Amino acid sequence: MGITEIAFYILAAIGVISALVTVTARHPIYSILGLVTCFFSISGHYILMNAQFLGLVNIIVYAGAIIVLFLFVVMMMNLGEIQETSKNLIWKIMAALAAGCLMLVLVAALKVSDNLVSAQPDNNIGLVETLGNVLLHEYLVPFIMTSILLNAAMIGAVLLSNKENKLQNI
Amino acid sequence: MNIEIISGVSVQAYIWLSLILFAIGVFGVLSRKNAIVIFMSVELMLNAANLLLVAFSKMYADTSAQVFVMFTMAVAAAEVAVGLAILVLMYRNTKTVNIDVLSKIKG
Amino acid sequence: MAAESLYTAIIGLPLLGFLIIGFLKNKISDNIAGILASTMVLIPFLIVSSVFFSLVNGGSAIHYYLLNWFTVGHYSVDYGIQLDRLSVVMSLFITGVGFLIHLYSVSYMKGDKNFSTYFSYLNLFIFFMLVLVLSDNYLGMYIGWEGVGLCSYFLIGFWYKNNEYSNAGKKAFVMNRVGDLGFMVGMFYVFYYTGSLEFVKVEQAIGMGAMTPIVLMIAASMLFVGATGKSAQIPLFTWLPDAMAGPTPVSALIHAATMVTAGIYMVIRSNFLYSLAPEVLNVVGIIGVASALYAAIVGMTQNDIKKVLAYSTVSQLGLMFLALGVGAYVTALFHVLTHAFFKALLFLGAGSVMHAVGGEQDIRKMGGLRKYMPITFATFLIASLAISGIPPFSGFFSKDEILAQAFQQNTLLWVLGLVASMMTAFYMFRLVFLTFYGDYRGNDDSKQKIHESPKLMTIPLVVLAILATVAGTLGLPHVLNMPHLLNDFLSPILASSARPQGHLEASTEFMLMGIATGGALVSIAIAYMMYISKKRVPDEDANYSGLTKVAYHKFYIDELYNAVIVRPMQWCSEFFHKVIDKVVVDGIVNMTGKASLLASDIVRTSQTGYTAFYILAMVLSACFILGYFFIGS
């Protein structure tokens, strides 16, 4: 068992456990902590697969920006004090069944699919240089569009977070 | 037939991992009432999908998949910004983040 | 071309009058409407007269194509105008009598608030009547046929605010429809077997044997059903007495002089058909004489001045059908002609009387009017003499000719016709004596107001009286060795059709005339004895008994029709309304609604409003779809 294999299993275990913590924790803060742990483990997987750029971006965007956003919101609403009245057991069982059903279907789809064929391994694909080339050559227009999307999201978020009376004034 | 993408780890292992994460996300969305946790579960599902994309990118030695992951991240960031703004609004109006309160579309 | 547009004007002008008056009735004054309407009838009369004289002088019949009406497959229906000897005679008295009645109406309808509407209807009627008469094919005739029925409906129900009047209009319309259906079926038969509807072509086709005797019989009898409807013969006559609800000039024009003779005209026009179907002709004769007798009996007991005249119309029309039945087409037309004059005169006279006594129609409340309205009396008397068949008035000649023709064919028909004719004399003079002789029986108020009618009303009376007197000269009997003008005029187109008939011996013919005249005189004498010498006045309605009561109630024919046709129909409608419509149809419709309501109530419960539930449904659906695409296939 090589080092990468061991690393994979450790990271996978951390990811699954932290994901479970995320969806089951009673307090939102624990959920957020579970989620950030999960994101870190996923970033670890990216680095394992030599996708260094994505691994870093994942930490910056998800663990950095998004999780902080979540934290702010939770703290702003002071949700910690409100004890969430959990759904009843039947609902949880149904949710588990549905999720399991979906997974079952996907696994079955995987099993009946044609045999996977691998290509010539290339260790450069995840590097910043390669990714940057592809992004700025083949996907230039979508890339610029993304900036517009982010801009729009920003404006929308600002608008929505405004006080209502100001919203009506606009 | 297992295809190794990194030494000792087959692509099937990654598929399984991302499927498990995705299913956990689905379970979270379905089982929780707290809108913020539901939102986090959605993020989890997005990440599971990203992971799968990267794994396949490695397998086929194709950079495009990773570019798509980048786009997904951008979209997720935008979604979170707007979504959380909506949540704040909802909290301001109802003083709660329980999504069962929002049942106006009952037929 | 100029001539053709002139002939088009014959039917075009009344239509134009109708349109102008109808559309501008609120804009133009009553006087202008009256004058315009009268002019629109007078001009066609003058044109027809000129055509008539050119025909008398040996000119040829005018027949020209007016317009293509419609084309179906290979067959196209053209509308053409046919001004031959027969239709010219008809249109001559339609426009002539029509014009006089227009004039009369100007005065009679004065002050009515729908004055212009009335004249627009009259013009429309003249238009349709001319279309009927001048058309060169059955379809055009049918259009006119329906059109006059429509106008008749309008005018019977002219005072539509009175419920009874508008019901009378409806009754006339429905009864006519029954007859029209017969006409239509007959027309279909003719078209199916001959491939044409034009009289000329149909005649040729039948001449070449296009129709077997059986088919001929069916077609002829179907057309005759139409004639019984329009000409008020048994069994479709009950609408005519009720039709007297309309203004009196309308009764004179439509329900006495012109429209009701449309059936006669149609049979004469189709003579090529009827002559080949002698069995149908026999039926025509029998129905004619039965109607004549029936109506005469009922007429003897009626007390409403217009009802008496209405039944006398049915009776006279019956005599005309008797003439048709014995194949004497010219004689029938002759009687149509004389009848048009004296019956129009009678109705206009009755209108004049009613005008004088304030709208009263019951002859028991009249009497002694001779002193107050001499012109009306004189003309009414002339008309009564004419209809009773007293020489030398016109009715004598035409009636005598009918009876003579009937005598040649069948003595029984002759006897029955004679009896009907004698009854005619009786009830007409009963009417005259009760109305004009004796003392006035109304109240004093109305007595003060009795007056002779204005000139505009009396002039048409006088003109018609002259015509009723002299029209007999058109058809002098053979024995007098004088020319039968009408017969000579019509012989080019009707000669071949009449049944073979020799001339009666002079002595027989004189004898027949004597019997007829004598019978009429005896009837008048009886009437004189009853109503002048003994000064009898008919009893109140309730006091009738026995046969008189039955006759007074028109042999309960209306009640019979009610019981046999109307009530079952109402029951049927009731049944369809309450069971089929309310229960079955509404049930099905309501059930559809209720079912979808129920279904939506069930489906609605799935709309919980909880987001989680929708997501669950989405996930399960995604499972299903993915499963179907990846695994199922």
Whole-number pLDDT of residue C496:
43
**CATH number of this structure's domain A1-84, picked from the four choices 1.20.1250.20, 1.10.3720.10, 1.10.274.50, 1.20.120.1200:** 1.20.120.1200
- Is residue C606 located within the same domain as residue C505? no
HEC string of chain A equals CCHHHHHHHHHHHHHHHHHHHHHHCCCHHHHHHHHHHHHHHHHHHHHHCCCHHHHHHHHHHHHHHHHHHHHHHHHHHCHHHCCCCCCCHHHHHHHHHHHHHHHHHHHHHHHHCCCCCCCCCCCCCCCHHHHHHHHHHCCHHHHHHHHHHHHHHHHHHHHHHCCHHHHHHC
Task: Read off the pLDDT of residues B25-52 as tens digits, 9 standing for 90 and up.
Answer: 999 998 888 888 899 999 999 999 999 9
Distance of CA C479 to the CA centre of its chain: 34
Helix axes C115-134, C2-23, angle to 10 degrees: 150
Task: Read off the pLDDT of residues C256-298 as tens digits, 9 standing for 90 and up.
Answer: 888 888 999 999 998 888 888 888 988 999 999 999 999 998 8
**C-alpha closest to that of A57 among B64, B52, B66, B25:** B66
The H or E element that residue B68 is part of is helix B64-94
The H or E element that residue C375 is part of is helix C374-388
Task: Read off the pLDDT of residues C465-495 as tens digits, 9 standing for 90 and up.
Answer: 998 888 888 877 766 767 777 777 887 777 5
Q: How far is C599 from chain A (nearest CA, A)?
A: 26
Residue B60 Cα distances to A49, B5, B7, B65, C405, angstroms? 12, 9, 15, 9, 118
Residue C85 has pLDDT above 90, yes or no: no
Helix axes C278-301, C213-230, angle to 10 degrees: 20
Q: Which among B33, B102, B107 has the least Cβ separation from residue C607?
A: B107
- Is residue C132 located within the same domain as residue C143? no
Name the least confident of A90-104, C215-229, C541-555, C619-633: C541-555
Angstrom distance (rounded) from CA C269 to CA C136: 10
In this structure, how many other beta carbons lie within 10 angstroms of the beta carbon of residue C370?
17
Last residue of a domain, one of C506, C531, C552: C552
**C-alpha closest to that of C235 among C278, C283, C304, C280:** C283
- Is residue C123 located within the same domain as residue C232? no
Q: How confident is the model at residue C382 (pLDDT cuts 50, 70, 90)?
A: very high
Taking only residues 123 to 162 of chain A, the set having a beta carbon closer than 8 angstroms to any beta carbon of chain B reads 125-126, 130-131, 134-135, 138-139, 142, 146, 149-150, 152-154, 156-161
| Total number of domains constituting chain C | 3
Residue A165 has pLDDT above 60, yes or no: no
- Is residue C253 located within the same domain as residue C402? yes
- Decide: C206 and C189 in contact? Cβ < 8 Å: no
- Is residue C164 located within the same domain as residue C282? yes
Residues 6+ apart with CB under 8 A from A91: B30, B31, C612
- Spell out the domains of chain B, with CATH numbers in brackets: 9-94 (1.10.287.3510)
Q: How confident is the model at residue C541 (pLDDT cuts 50, 70, 90)?
A: low
Angstrom distance (rounded) from CA A117 to CA C411: 118
Residues of A in contact with C616 (CB under 8 A): 94-95, 98
- Is residue C152 located within the same domain as residue C132? no
Task: Read off the pLDDT of residues C302-314 as tens digits, 9 standing for 90 and up.
Answer: 888 888 999 999 9
Whole-number pLDDT of residue C45:
92
Residues 6+ apart with CB under 8 A from C58: none
Residue that is written with structure tokens 């039955």 in the block: C550
Residues of A in contact with C622 (CB under 8 A): 102
Instruction: Write out the residue range of the structural domain in which residue C610 sits.
Output: 559-632
Q: How far is C610 from chain B (nearest CA, A)?
A: 5
Check CB contact under 8 Å for B103 and C610. yes
Average of per-residue pLDDT values in chain C: 86
Angstrom distance (rounded) from CA A20 to CA C252: 106
Q: How confident is the model at residue A42 (pLDDT cuts 50, 70, 90)?
A: very high
**C-alpha closest to that of C305 among C269, C265, C354:** C354
Structure tokens at C38: 């009268």
Helix axes C278-301, C394-409, angle to 10 degrees: 130
Check CB contact under 8 Å for B106 and C615. no
- Is residue C503 located within the same domain as residue C578? no
Structure tokens at C423: 């009854």
Helix axes B11-31, B35-60, angle to 10 degrees: 170
Check CB contact under 8 Å for C607 and B100. no
Bridge-based pairing state of the strands C62-72 and B4-6: unpaired
Residue A166 has pLDDT above 60, yes or no: no
Check CB contact under 8 Å for A70 and B39. yes
Check CB contact under 8 Å for A105 and C620. no
Task: Read off the pLDDT of residues C167-198 as tens digits, 9 standing for 90 and up.
Answer: 888 888 988 988 999 999 999 999 888 888 88
Chain C residues at the B interface, defined by Cβ less than 8 Å, are 604-612, 615-616, 619
Residue C501 has pLDDT above 80, yes or no: no
DSSP state of C276: T
Name the least confident of A165-169, B40-44, C206-210, C408-412: A165-169
Name the neighbours of A, counting chains with at least 3 Cβ pairs within 8 A: B, C
- Is residue C545 located within the same domain as residue C590? no
Whole-number pLDDT of residue A170:
43
**DSSP alpha helices (H): ranges in C24-114?**
30-56, 85-108
- Decide: A80 and A74 in contact? Cβ < 8 Å: yes
- Return the SS3 of C218: helix
Whole-number pLDDT of residue C542:
65
Whole-number pLDDT of residue C327:
84
- Is residue C537 located within the same domain as residue C566? no
**Geometric angle at alpha carbon C77, from C76 and C80, rounded to 5°:** 135
Angstrom distance (rounded) from CA C250 to CA C244: 8
- Is residue C125 located within the same domain as residue C33? yes
Q: What are phi and psi of C457, to 5 degrees?
A: -90, -35
CB-based contact (8 Å) between B3 and chain C?
no
Could you tell me which chain C residue has the CA closest to the CA of A103?
C623
- Is residue C370 located within the same domain as residue C485? yes
Structure tokens at C60: 């040829």
Residues of B in contact with A18 (CB under 8 A): none
- Is residue C121 located within the same domain as residue C153? no
